[in-house]
Amino acid sequence: MEKEQKQIQLNVDPNAYFISMVNMRFDEEGFHFLFASGNQGRQFVASPKHAKRMHLLLKQQIENYEKQFGEIKTQLPDRLPASQQSGQNTQEDNKVGF
């Protein structure tokens, strides 16, 4: 028996936006993303499992890119967790951005 495929209608914005800033934090329920392009931002939330699948897909695509174009040399910016700055553990400790 063939598995029935569902078709989903998706409205896609025809514009492509360059991501100039990303902030991300997590809590027990999900991963919260803030993507900015210029002075415009959009927020998204993904379940932990969906965030992990996004990570695996991005990792695979970066590996393919580097095979074709060479290594991307970059790193996350240094930052001191908010709890070390204030002496109290905060949700800000789970937040990172660039």
- pTM score: 0.69
- What angle is formed at CA 24 by the lines to CA 21 and CA 26, rounded to 5 degrees? 175
DSSP 89: -
Q: Where are the domains of the chain?
A: 17-72
Q: Is the pLDDT of residue 15 over 70?
A: yes
pLDDT-derived band at 32, boundaries 50, 70, 90: very high
How many helices (H) does the chain have, and how many strands (E)?
2, 4
In this predicted structure, what is the pLDDT of residue 89? 52
As a residue count, the chain comes to 98
